[in-house]
Amino acid sequence: MSVKPVIIGLAAAVAIGLSFSVTAADTSSWKEKTVSGETDEAMHLEPDYENGRDVYEVCSACHMPEGWGFTDGTFPQLAGQHRPVLIKQLADIRALNRDNPTMYPFALPESIGDAQALADVTAYIAKLKMNPENGKGEWAEGTPEFEQGKKLYADNCVRCHGDHGEGNVEKFYPRIEGQHYAYMLRQFEWIRDGKRRNANPDMVEQIKNFTDKDMKMVINYISRVPVKKEDLAPSADWKNPDFD
């Protein structure tokens, strides 16, 4: 049976952060945390889409009814993210494998429900259409910084995140195309500097020598990669009819 959420108002949906992630001190347990525990349980449950919509009401106060977050990066865009990635990040926050003290109380079972609720709400979020005007970096296509970011992405990121940032469902690699520049930049820096305890150690190793300028250029590039039209909302003015 699905567990209905406790609706707790504006503070209740503080950012789910998505993820590229890890710290060197915790590398040995990353794979276990990815495939076991509540993540594994929720992945094997049949989602109740209607209950997922109800649970998402808690999240919508910060991530917005459309799941778009904010272009300034305060809260990430969740819409269209791979369901396994969403499950893992929620489960990691609940299990204190990812530090997010603001969100932690609102991710707990008493706030949103048990593993079934995770299965439900992530199924709902994954089907939301994405913001067609995500937050982007400062360098337009054709500038030297854009081209260098493109090269950095090809040399360092494409193997895991895909040719256009589509991610990998089976390996829990997040979809980063269409994500807000400022949010990705913050997460990239935290991963590089060892502040994301649930990050993939392979990524930490891959980006450890990135300068701040490298970081900005590669994130600028991926923030500008076009998302397939069928995955986008019809306009930036679109409103989620489930919350009218």
pLDDT, tens digit (0-9, with 9 covering 90-100), for 10-56: 333 333 343 333 333 444 455 565 555 899 999 999 999 999 999 99
Place of tokens 């459309």: 66
Distance CA 213, CA 207 (A): 12
Domain residue extents for the chain: 1-244
Query: How many residues does this entry show for the chain?
Result: 244
DSSP character at residue 174: P
* 1-244: CATH number: 1.10.760.10
Q: List all residues 6 or more positions away from 121 whose beta carbon is below 8 Å from its beta carbon.
A: 51, 52, 55, 56, 59, 86, 90, 112
Question: 61: closest CA among 100, 10, 127, 135?
Answer: 10
pLDDT of residue 142: 97
pTM of the predicted structure, to 2 decimals: 0.86
pLDDT, tens digit (0-9, with 9 covering 90-100), for 88-134: 999 999 999 999 888 888 899 999 999 999 999 999 999 999 999 99
Distance CA 207, CA 41 (A): 32
